[in-house]
């Protein structure tokens, strides 16, 4: 359809039909404007607000937990340096129900020997020493014990961090 054909069609309509076509065209134009422009912008704005709120909540959570972590770290850091290496080892080994066969201090380090200890219990003890007592494992020599799941600690060399 070209412009001349549309003009002829338009002039063939009576006044009431022309008004009806104009009203329908305006309604359809408003619908297109709303569905193609306004609604996507509005949805995008709502999604952006939700995303912003979620990220602000995450930021608040990180800030709170960072402060908590730093306070726990500073409190535990003060407790780490108060006791001697051998007293920390004896106390924590008794708490874990581990029997120390022998201890030998070597300057700033301490060597420990244990006979037949459950491997998982040894790991829990070493994790506690590293995370809560501020000790670091320099070296460890293990051998398989007679019972299944147990090891012998031939040499465990610990130092303060």
The string of pLDDT tens digits covering residues 46-80 is 999 999 999 999 999 898 888 887 777 665 554 44
- Give the contacts of 153 (CB within 8 A, at least 6 positions apart): 112, 113, 114, 115, 117, 122, 140, 141, 142
Select from 72, 84, 43 the least CA-distant residue to 132: 72
pLDDT at residue 132, as a whole number: 87
The alpha carbon torsion through 145, 151, 156, 161 (nearest 10 deg) reads 180
pLDDT at residue 76, as a whole number: 55
Render pLDDT for 105-121 as a digit per residue (tens, 0 to 9): 988 899 999 989 999 99
For the segment 2-16, the average pLDDT, to the nearest whole number, is: 93
Give the residue, 79 or 82, on which the prediction is more confident.
Answer: 82
């Amino acid at each position: 359809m070209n412009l001349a054909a549309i003009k002829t069609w338009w002039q063939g309509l009576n006044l009431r039909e022309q008004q009806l076509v104009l009203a329908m065209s305006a309604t359809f134009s408003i619908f297109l404007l709303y569905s193609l422009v306004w609604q996507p912008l509005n949805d995008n704005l709502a999604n952006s607000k939700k995303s912003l709120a979620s990220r602000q909540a995450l930021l608040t959570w990180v800030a709170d937990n960072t402060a908590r972590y730093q306070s726990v770290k500073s409190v535990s850091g003060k407790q780490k340096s108060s006791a001697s290496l051998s007293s920390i080892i004896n106390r924590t080994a008794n708490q874990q129900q581990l029997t120390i066969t022998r201890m030998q201090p070597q300057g700033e380090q301490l060597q420990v020997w244990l006979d037949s200890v459950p491997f998982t219990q040894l790991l829990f003890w070493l994790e506690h020493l590293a995370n809560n007592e501020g000790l670091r494992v320099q070296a460890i020599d293990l051998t398989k014990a007679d019972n299944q799941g147990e090891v012998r600690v031939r040499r465990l060399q610990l130092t303060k961090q």
